[in-house]
Structure 1
Amino acid sequence: MSELITISPIDGQELLRRPHATAADLERITLAARRAQRDWAQQPLSARVALLEKAIDQVVARTETFAISITEQMGRPISQSPGELRGFAERGRYMLSIAEEALAPLGLPVRDNLHRSIEREPVGVVLTIAPWNYPLLTAVNSIVPALAAGNAVILKHSDQTPLCAEQMVQAFADAGLPAGLFQYVHATHDTIRALIQSPAVDYVAFTGSVRGGAAVEEAATGRFIGRGLELGGNDPAYVREDADLDQAVETLVDGAFFNSGQSCCGIQRIYVHQSHYRTFVDRAVALAEQYRLGNPLDPNINLGPVVRLKAAEEIRATLTRSIGMGARDCVDPGRFPMALPGSTYLAPSILTQVSHEMPVMNEECFGPVVGIMPVASDEQAVALMNDCRYGLTAAIFTRDMDAARHLGQQLETGTVFMNRCDYLDPALAWTGVKHTGHGISLSIYGYHMLTRVKSYHLRAL
């Protein structure tokens, strides 16, 4: 029997191992999900919502356990991991608060004794495939609304964060969720591919790499099931001539380096009006050099390791290639003695003298790396921001909201920010364009992805 092995990025030691699911395991899990879903969908929406509110309370009550688990598995500083629990609660509770509105039937006027309406029904069984970088925040986007809408959920978490799946399912069970309704599975890529190809799954919510999204698309070919794919990103920001420079520096440095740069909507490209370029770079470097890199279990640390050694080497390769093409790293590596070759610990890097031929400006790096370029105009900034195969978010720093809206209409992106970045508002649709994928999570539109419509055309005699 094959098994997953989780290596902690903190010290390179084995943290845990778990057996992968067998074909018999999958049959048991999917049959239980089907049975539970049929009964769950018949429960009043108010009852489902009330139980899910208790489930969220159970997760929040275990904040310390979850936080330590997240830090040990993927390396985020323990000073920051509890914030993910707050975000989980915020998103989950908001989605429950709009469930009635999002799932309400659409009634049409009676005409010639014809009673017409459009109603929403659950799709059935939702497979959520969640990544390691935000193991709770990415998962909650589909899990809570899927369950509220009357679906069952099977959670496949990253092999780097299997404990998060186990702990989440246990918390929901302790809240009284029916057996079989929300389950986890530890499985190989081949096993998940077979599960998607089977009739057992009715919708796939995937967050991960472009390659992983392509694998989901291929597995689902011919099944005609719904898919939500949040894939890669190389998100840009533009600091206009009228920006509040102090606010822009503070916000964008955090947007680039929080979670060691391992955020789907983290900032990787910054375009600064040429009148502020030198000042912006100097202030950004000064702020980055104040970061404290070290063991993430130390509460005084605010920059931990990246998730695994392979990822660290890929980030170093991106830096080496970009510097070899003429980029300059402005951050003094001597300030970060933990950032040793062959380790998972990386110093923050701010690259200048960059161009779009360099990998840092045209590929997803997923590390504490950002490139900064000067621009002469709004038009040049927009052209450069759009010169990327990804499109998740884009940020504009300006005092002029009309200008931000005007520029936002020209940007090829799923979300436009003004004077902020790297944030999900659960009231807004979370979506992307180009190689960032397709589908929607959060907001009332997220519910629409997790339900199917049924029309009623009833003639009264």
Structure 2
Amino acid sequence: MRPSELISTDPCTGDVIWTGATGGVAQAVAAARAAAPGWARTALADRIAIVRAFKAAVEAEADGFARLIARETGKPLWETRTEVASVAGKVEISITAQAERAGERAGEAAGVRQALRHKPHGVLAVLGPYNFPAHLPNGHIVPALLAGNTLVFKPSEQTPAVADFMGRLWAQAGLPAGVLNFVHGGGDVGRDLAGADIDGLLFTGSAHVGAALARQFADTPQRILALEMGGNNPLVAWDVSDIDAAAALVAQSAFLSAGQRCTNARRLIVRDGDERLLAAVLGLADRLIVGVPFDEPQPFMGPVIANAAADGLQRGWDALVGGGGKVLRPLNRPQPDRPFLSPAVIDVTGGTPSDDELFGPILQIIRVPDWDAAIAAANATRFGLAAGLIGGDTALFDDFWARSRAGIVNWNRPTNGASSAAPFGGVGHSGNHRPSAYYAADYCAFPVATLASDTPAGAITTGLMP
């Protein structure tokens, strides 16, 4: 492969899906900068019309869109169809959020008019992830365009074909040239883009990369940096009555999307001695189908994104075993040259739990003697994205909500159940600004407060010499 060429392959087969050139950051940023004044002056109603035309294009191409995502990520077709629906659904949610959180406000007090309006930052960069290559960057792109920003989007190097497909849909919607620009490549291109003449960067990805971006932005406080960086999410099961339902919640929380959601549960915390739920989870994990996207019956999960990701997960698993973990269900890889992994469960009680985000189908079990120990174990992470409680009563959940440290706290629901119509994000190493969801309007524009009178109204009445 030439250094200037990027190749995307199907993780299930290795077949080439897309090839294209890398780099071009300077040209893309210059195009966005040139288009910025005109797009900022475009009436909000016209910007709304274009994003609604994009929604219509997504809906018209939904089947082909979903199939492409499935091919490039390996996710089951049923799941990629839900992703495409989320891309379309994000439009109206963003229009509402723009009006409610970044709209115009006016009033008058003591004869002085007061106004609150918002301005776009200018040129924003978007760095997208591979796990939801359409939905998550779309959660930045739509609000940023509505606010009047122009954009340069670098998708994950694992999913350039999905990004190009999105670009064609935006062109069909009538988005003017230069308003949304695309660059492709790996980390070097991302670093170049972060250091370019931009007014801010919107990121969804790993804590490692997010921390590097924060360091790169340290000397430019005038630039916005919105980060969503994942989590090491706890799920506490306590006084569970319906074991089968609870096991289903655990399996969905831990293994949905092959464990490649930032909100997947990584740690299941249970009362020591309660074996019923663990037995049910292991029995259900044995039945989960791992397969290719277009299989019938549809699989529960596909492969992880690439062989390199599977290799890294194997190293993480080996570290858990080496740290004293007891294997309850092994991490199997049926095809050494393909990244299919089985759901894996390991008891790390008394061992060395990982506080890295093991971005795959690995669930760590932690046994505790009492409720206070459960809360302490849940909070024993530098992350703070999602947390969940299964079982208990309202009083127990209220205590869990009050004492847990996370931006998403669910009860008797999977940890990876989050609404685009609500804020999304967490605390600690999970990020800032609540990127990609309802509060995206907050970081896509800055507020301008105004006091105004028709004529100058000023007088100095004290402190003057006669």
Match of 2:157 in 1: 159
Q: In structure 2, do the counterparts of structure 1 residues 330 and 443 end up closer, same or farther at CA, with 3 Å as the change threshold?
A: closer
Tell me the CA shift for residue 244 of structure 1: 3.8
Amino acid at match of 2:230: G
1:196 counterpart (191, 194, 197): 194
TM (norm. structure 1) is: 0.91
SS at match of 2:46: helix
Which of 115, 130, 133 aligns to 2:131? It is 133
Q: Work out whether 1:400 is the aligned partner of 2:393.
A: yes
Could you say what secondary structure the match of 1:350 adopts?
strand
Q: CA deviation at 1:78?
A: 2.3
Q: Does the CA-based 8 Å contact 1:243-1:397 persist in structure 2?
A: no
1:431 aligns with 2:425: yes
**Displacement of 1:69 after TM fit?**
1.7
What is the RMSD computed on CA atoms of the aligned residues?
A: 2.1
Other structure's SS at 1:82 match: helix
In the alignment, the residues of structure 2 paired with residue 435 and residue 427 of structure 1 have an alpha-carbon distance, to the nearest angstrom, of 23
The 1:52–1:355 alpha-carbon spacing in structure 2 relative to 1, beyond 3 Å, is farther
Q: Deviations over 1:47-92 (max 9, x none)?
A: 2222211201211222222222222222112232211112222233
Correspondence for 2:281: 284
Q: Is the 8 A contact 2:227 2:435 kept in 1?
A: no
Q: Contact (CA 8 Å) 1:79, 1:299: kept in 2 or not?
A: no
Using the TM superposition, name which of 26-35 and 445-454 deviates more. Answer: 26-35
2:325–2:352 contact (8 Å) kept in structure 1: no
Instruction: Give the one of 239, 244, 247 matched to 2:245.
Output: 247
Amino acid at match of 2:5: E
What's 1:20 paired with? 22
* Distance apart, 1:243 and its partner CA: 5.3
The alignment status of 1:363 with 2:356, answered yes or no, reads: yes
**Does 2:218 match 1:216?**
no
| CA distance, structure 2, for counterparts of residue 211 and residue 452 of structure 1 | 28
Equivalent pairs, count: 450
Report the AA paired with residue 383 of structure 2.
Y
Residues 98, 444 of structure 1: 8 Å contact kept: yes
Within 5 Å, give how 1:226-241 maps onto structure 2. 226-241=224-239
Distance 1:107 1:52 in 2: 26
SS in 1 for 2:137: helix
**Once the two structures are aligned, what percentage of the paired residues are identical?**
27
Provide the secondary structure at the position in 1 that maps to 2:434: coil
Q: CA 1:188–1:363 in 2, change beyond 3 Å: closer, same or farther?
A: closer
Shift of 1:146: 0.8
CA contact (8 A) 2:268 2:365 kept: yes
Q: 1:21 to 1:341 in 2, by over 3 A?
A: closer
CA contact 1:146–1:152 (8 Å) conserved in 2? yes
Report the equivalent of 1:6: 8
Q: Distance in 1 between matches of 2:91 and 2:402?
A: 30
2 CA distance for matches of 1:7 and 1:151?
32
Q: What 5-or-longer segments of structure 2 have no aligned partner? A: 456-466
Find the aligned partners of 1:208 and 1:356 in 2 and give their Cα distance: 28
Q: Is 1:236–1:394's contact at 8 Å kept on the other side of the alignment?
A: yes
- 2 CA distance for matches of 1:79 and 1:423? 16
Q: Which residue of 1 aligns with 2:102?
A: 103
8 Å CA contact retained: 1:78, 1:299: no
Change (3 A) 1:61 1:48: same
Pick which of 384-393 and 309-318 moved more. 309-318
Cα deviation for residue 365 of structure 1 reads 0.9
CA distance in 2 between partners of 1:428 and 1:79 (Å): 24
| 1:170 Cα deviation after fit | 0.8
Per the TM alignment, residue 392 of structure 1 is displaced from its structure 2 partner at its CA by 0.7
Cα gap change, 1:99 to 1:314, in 2 (>3 Å): same
- Tell me how far apart the structure 2 counterparts of residues 87 and 53 of structure 1 sit (CA, whole Å): 14
- 1:377 maps to a residue whose letter is D
For 1:365-412, what per-residue CA distance to the aligned partner results, in whole angstroms no more than 9, with x for missing partners? Answer: 111110122333321111001101111110112352343232212112
SS at match of 1:294: coil
Corresponding residue for residue 183 of structure 1: 181
Matches of 2:219 and 2:324, distance apart in 1: 47
In the aligned structure 2, how far is the partner of 1:166 from the partner of 1:355?
48
Alpha-carbon distance in 2 for matches of 1:371, 1:188: 31
Q: Deviations over 1:164-196 (max 9, x none)?
A: 111111101101122221221113433432332
Could you say if the C-alpha distance between residues 305 and 39 of structure 1 is closer, same or farther in structure 2, counting changes exceeding 3 Å?
A: same
